[in-house]
Structures are given as structure tokens and as C-alpha cells.
Amino acid sequence: MIVIRRNGKNEGFWLRNSEKFVQYLQSLGVPENWQIVDVYGLDPDILSAVPQPVIAVLLLFPTSDKYEEHKNKQEEELKKAGDAMPENVYYLKQVVSNACGTIALIHSVANNTDKIDLKDGDLKKFLHETLSLNPEERGAKLLDSAGIINTHKEVAQEGQTEAPDCNDPVNYHFVAFVNKDGQLFELDGRKSCPINHGKTSDATLLQDAAKVCREFMERDPEELHFTVVALTSSA
């Protein structure tokens, strides 16, 4: 159980198994020293207990009307500003409904290959083959990546009678936050491009991402279910 605290109170929880994330990443070639750990709150004292270094933060949140309204408004603003796709950020579009967890993990690893010594396997092959593609082409290519998709299904099915279908409707969504060249990027496969939230660093990524996570919660105060996890190294 992952509990998110706001203003010192327990305001909600959402059940997820971070061990499944670790199992999935290792199956795709991520070394064992990299772990997904629960972030039990966003207050500074709780964040200080999260093992460092943190190279990515993942947020699970409800896809409510408030999220859709903010997303649409943000897309219009980006369109007017004419923001170009940052060349240094690996980003892929989500083309099926029930793949946001996989995409958030891919975003987390793909933008940290300078830190993660990725082993030969399906993920390394996918990243190599899609490096020169645009986000839409990468999303479509993911559908053809049987190794990544089947591994996801196998891990998801453990302990269940049936694995979820990739097109099943879902009410929750994953996004990832990474530091790329000193900038905090929100990577949401449902948006048109990465969202730049300003300056960050390897040392402050967790704290800076936590501020944006709080904004998600403040935009949707009636929703209680938010989950935060971090990709960190045990070595």
C-alpha cells in the first residue's frame, strides 16, 4: 500500500506492487542494482528517506475530467508557443489504452542509458531500433515488440487468472519525470510532447518532481488515489 500525505494527513491510497516493476525491468535487461521503491509521501522529511541516486520518478493518478481539462489547455498553449520536440529527450506516444505503465518505465530507462548499463535484450534492441524514429512511430513500433509486450503480460498475469488486455479501459495513468541536461521533463505518452518543468539536477530530481506531483493533486483535490515511486540504485 502506498500512502500519499498532503498537509500531514493521509488523504488516500492506491494499491500497486512495486516488486512487479522491478521484475519487469530486470526481465528487460535492467541490472539488478536498479530498483523501483515506494515514495510514501511528498514532505521533505519523507523524501529524504528515499535511497539515492534517484534517476526517475513515476506518478500514478486518476484520469479525471480535471486531468483531461488541464491536458487540453496545456496542449493548446504548447501549440500556440510552437514548442519543438527536444532532441535530447527520448519520447514515445501511447497508442493503446493499457500501456502507460510500460511506457513510463521505458521513458525512465531510455532517458538514463548513460547511467544504466542496459543488458542485451528486448528493451535495448527496441531503443536501438527506434532511436531515429518520431514519437508516433515509436509508439506504433512498441505494438510490434513481442518481447516487451509478452513480458508485460507474463508479469501482470502472475497471481491472476487472466492478464489485462492492452485495450481494456483504465481509469488511472502513469507518467514519468526525468532530468535531461538539467531540465525536469514530464513524459506523458498521451500528450503531444514532453513537458519542460524547468531546472533540476541529479541531486534535486526527487524534490523537484515531488513539487509537480503536488500540482497534480492540487488540481484535483477531490481525488484521493495517487501513487509515487522512484527508480533508484542500490549500489
DSSP H stretches of helix in the chain: 18-27, 44-47, 65-81, 100-110, 122-130, 135-143, 146-157, 205-219
The answer to whether residue 12 scores a pLDDT higher than 90 is no
What average pLDDT score do residues 204-233 get? 92
| Catalytic-role residue among 100, 152, 193, 213 | 100
Mean pLDDT of the chain: 83
Take residue 233 and report the three cell numbers written for it: 540504485
14 has a pLDDT exceeding 70: no
Q: Tell me the pLDDT tens digit for each residue of 72-86.
A: 888 888 777 766 678
Q: Specify the pLDDT at position 168.
A: 46
Q: Which of 107, 152, 173, 193 is catalytic?
A: 173
Q: The domain 57-219: what is its CATH number? A: 3.40.532.10
Domain ranges of the chain: 57-219
Residue 35: strand, helix, or coil: strand
Joined grid coordinates for residue 16: 500497486
Any catalytic annotation for residue 173?
yes
The model carries a pTM of: 0.86
Q: Is 218 in contact with 67 (CB distance < 8 Å)? A: no
Q: What is the DSSP string of 146-194?
A: HHHHHHHHHHHHTTSSSPPPTTS--SEEEEEEEEETTEEEEE-TTSSS-
For residue 21, which of 229, 235, 234 has the smallest C-alpha distance? 229
**For residue 166, what pLDDT is reported?**
46
pLDDT tens for 94-150 read 987 778 888 999 999 999 999 999 999 999 999 999 999 999 999 999 988 888 877
Q: What is the pLDDT of residues 139-189, one digit of tens each?
A: 999 988 888 877 766 666 654 434 444 444 457 889 999 999 999 999 999
